[in-house]
Structure 1
Amino acid sequence: MRKPETVEHLYIDCDGFFASVEQQMRPRLRERPVGVVPFGDTERTGLIAVSKEAKMLGIKGFMSIREARRICPDIQIVAQSPDLYRRAHNALTMQISSVLPIDVIKSIDELSCRLDSTAIHNPAAVAHEVKKAVSDNIGPYITLTMGAAANRHLAKIACKQAKWHDGVYGDGLAVWKPEDMPGPLLQMDIKDIPGIGPNMRQRLYHANIYSTESLYRTDPKLMRKIWGNVNGERLWYALHGYDIEAEESKQGMIGHSRVLPPENRSLQGSREVARLLAVKAARRLRRANLYASGLWVWLAQRDSNWRHMERMMAVNDDHSILLALERAWRVAAAQLPVGPIFNLGVTLLDFSQANECQEDLFNTDMDERRKWEATTRAIDELNQRYGQTVISLGEWRQPSGGYAGGKISFSRIPDAEDFW
């Protein structure tokens, strides 16, 4: 296992990305505290992103609007624009890759670059060049914080350290050279180490590991035991500067979820949103050239969650998936307690590749399935031609706030088709 002797990775994190994109696009928001919310200015929701100015006042993501207004009565509240953020992400990656090859895109606002033989000698100069390219060609209100280190994991931790500097949030840079380690790392709180969430911290506390220093001094085999798998040992080697990367995970499910606006919180209203999400998941399934054998539905009420799994033949056409959803909805109608539904999710799972699907000799409706697959392909081709949903099975109506199926998650950047 190789242990680099120089800085080899540059980790880049956009500062308050959603809010900073809003500031770049809307001059009235610039240099003002900004909070981004899912559906508009309503006291019943929370902030999904905040600007640098808001963070310096102590306002954080996931804070309620009411609490944010208590801290700053003048905070500017704006509704999210996911397609705008997707396009801003594409513009950013184009500018960054014009300076330095991108190694891995971790999320819509985080990515990692591997430094070449020239850049490793002056990572600070390369970081400045990247920042200048973004500022000059996209705009100065979208700022980047960066961390440079021997491997990607340490670079990400260095980036976190650089977020706050001299009392200012964002636009920072931390360079952790191998010869300076582990000093900078040991100054970090254990909760700031990627891969150590609340549950894992409890496991570490039970093993008498309370600090980053004690974690660093721990034996790698003990870390494997605490984690219950090889990831603990991988983390040990990453923290000690070895060039080790986690194995790429395979996609195991495709789905969408949605917080429901008030007018869709009935069983019938939530069904309309669920149908839309199921079709969008089916479209992603076909773009990945996959078939699914399971449909998972969950509905969240005030004090309870309802979950249900429907089994299917290996399918990827809209008709078959919507039939499975209808079966699930009949079960929901019989089992769900009376009351509003606040959130729902639809997920396809149990995948097989298209070229691995075999016809079932005992299935008597194969001709019907082939017909619906052909119909769905024709629908996809028409929608692709016009760049929007011009034809669908049943009514196609976005709920209030729009962007159903275009949600930006931590692990996935939506495609343009997700916004149709």
Structure 2
Amino acid sequence: MRKPETIERLYLDFDGFFASVMQQAFPALRGRPVGVIPFETDKAKYTTVIACSKEAKARGVKNVMRTPDAQALCPDIVLVMQRPDLFRRAHNALLNEIACEIPIDTVKSIDELTCKLAPRDIRDPHALAQRLKVRIAKNVGPHITCSIGFAANRLLSKLACKMDKPNGVTVWEPEGALQYLSALPLSEISGIGGRMEQRLNRAGIHTTAQLIATQPKQMRALWGNVNGERMWYGLHGYDIQAQPTGRGMYGHGRVLPPELRKIDKARDIGRLLLTKAARRMRRDQFYASKLWLWLDLREGGWFAQRDLPCVNDDQAILTGLGALWEKARDELSRNHEIVRVGVTLLDLSPATGRQLDMFLNDDCDRQKWERITFSIDTLNRKFGKRVLSLGPWKPPPGGYAGGKISYTRIPSAEDFW
């Protein structure tokens, strides 16, 4: 395994991406503490600040904080409703500008990416960082800033990127990387969550320096899989490439405004979310053999699943969802408040590998509904986004069902139909 002798990777993270895009788009928000929420502002006391600006963070506000708590820390925080399609378009514009300076290796999320460095940039990483920042400020806007880390591999450059936020540039040369790492708490290491940190503590590892001093096989045993060993090599500066992952599911979740938290209203939102997920699945040419419905209640939660006969058409999928909602109606009282509804299609098969259930013998019916669904999708693409749907289409307040704010998934334009 190769161990680079110089920096080879850049990791770029946009600072407070969602809030800074709002500040760039709306001048009245600039320089003010901003919190992005999922609902219109008159529902603020029932919801959460899902992203905040650097001005709000300086006052103690954090992403994913209840709005009353955020307002207690920062009484003058400006709450604005999310604009997911604006975030998507800003993301694409920023990627275009960055690609003009350096090829993008991997887009990690809507606000993070990584690049391989050319020899010129290895010699002068600060000049590259300056070119990127100037280009973004000039061609997209000065209120969207980024932090950049340089190191020998992707993991180390990501950790370096966190050091001087916001709007900083950090270079970790290979010979000094372990020293920089040793000063970080375990919770700052990408890939070590709360449970993993507890497991490490039980094994007598309480600091990053102790983690670095372990052996690769020991870390593999602690993680319970090869990822622990890969973590060891990443922390020690080896050229570790992320393993490709396959698609495992399609799903959507939605926090419900107060007026939609009874089972009949939540059911309508569940149908809409599942229709959106099924459209995404069809665009990628997959079929599903299992459906999950999960509900976050004011007290506790509820979950059920249903097997599907390897389908991708709306009729079969929505019929399965209807059965799950009937189960929910039987098991939950009318007084239950449903705070969040989610649907997931899984056990995926590529279209080329689909196998029908020989005992079900519904191929003729399935082909008919697949032709109908294909026609609906085609007409929606051509004439009006949602000109046709199978059953009612009732978007929740604020819209964006299925195209909501997301750090890990970058929505496509079709997600906003």
TM-score (normalised: structure 2): 0.97
Select 2:406's aligned residue among 391, 406, 409: 409
Deviation at 1:245, TM superposition (A): 2.0
Pairing 1:144-163 to 2, within 5 Å after superposition: 144-163=146-165
CA offsets, 1:227-247, max 9 Å, x none? 001111100100000000231
User: What is the one-letter code of the residue matched to 2:92?
Assistant: N
CA offsets, 1:245-298, max 9 Å, x none? 231221111100000112211111011001101111110110111100111101
Distance, in Å, in 1 between the alignment partners of 2:357 and 2:53 is 55
Pairing 1:94-243 to 2, within 5 Å after superposition: 94-163=96-165, 170-243=166-239
Q: 1:359 to 1:209 in 2, by over 3 A?
A: closer
Q: 1:172 to 1:355 in 2, by over 3 A?
A: same
Distance, in Å, in 2 between the alignment partners of 1:320 and 1:117 is 55
User: What is the one-letter code of the residue matched to 1:363?
Assistant: L
Distance, in Å, in 2 between the alignment partners of 1:69 and 1:305 is 28
Does the 8 Å contact 1:12/1:110 carry over to 2?
yes
Does the 8 Å contact 2:296/2:339 carry over to 1?
yes
CA offsets, 1:350-401, max 9 Å, x none? 1111111234443333222111100111111111113511110111121112
1:272 aligns with 2:254: no
Partner of 1:388: 385
Pairing 1:17-416 to 2, within 5 Å after superposition: 17-41=17-41, 42-163=44-165, 170-338=166-334, 339-386=336-383, 388-416=385-413
Does the 8 Å contact 1:294/1:348 carry over to 2?
yes
Secondary structure of the residue aligned to 2:163 is helix
Does the 8 Å contact 1:234/1:246 carry over to 2?
no
Does the 8 Å contact 1:20/1:142 carry over to 2?
yes
Distance, in Å, in 1 between the alignment partners of 2:109 and 2:60 is 24
Does the 8 Å contact 2:164/2:170 carry over to 1?
yes
User: What is the one-letter code of the residue matched to 2:206?
Assistant: Y
Secondary structure of the residue aligned to 2:338 is coil
Distance, in Å, in 2 between the alignment partners of 1:198 and 1:108 is 24
Distance, in Å, in 1 between the alignment partners of 2:96 and 2:26 is 22
CA offsets, 1:109-164, max 9 Å, x none? 0111111122111111111111111100000000000111000000000011121x
CA offsets, 1:303-328, max 9 Å, x none? 12111111111100011101101111
Does the 8 Å contact 2:287/2:349 carry over to 1?
yes
Distance, in Å, in 2 between the alignment partners of 1:374 and 1:337 is 39
Does the 8 Å contact 2:82/2:405 carry over to 1?
no
Does the 8 Å contact 1:33/1:52 carry over to 2?
yes
Does the 8 Å contact 1:82/1:403 carry over to 2?
yes
Partner of 1:7: 7
* CA RMSD after TM alignment: 1.1
Does the 8 Å contact 1:295/1:346 carry over to 2?
yes
Structure 1 residues without counterparts, runs of 5 or longer:
164-169
Secondary structure of the residue aligned to 1:53 is helix
Distance, in Å, in 2 between the alignment partners of 1:361 and 1:216 is 54
Secondary structure of the residue aligned to 1:161 is coil
Does the 8 Å contact 1:6/1:120 carry over to 2?
yes
Distance, in Å, in 1 between the alignment partners of 2:78 and 2:358 is 61
User: What is the one-letter code of the residue matched to 2:325?
Assistant: W
User: What is the one-letter code of the residue matched to 2:31?
Assistant: E
Does the 8 Å contact 2:152/2:173 carry over to 1?
yes
Q: 1:283 to 1:226 in 2, by over 3 A?
A: same
Does the 8 Å contact 1:387/1:417 carry over to 2?
no
Secondary structure of the residue aligned to 1:118 is helix
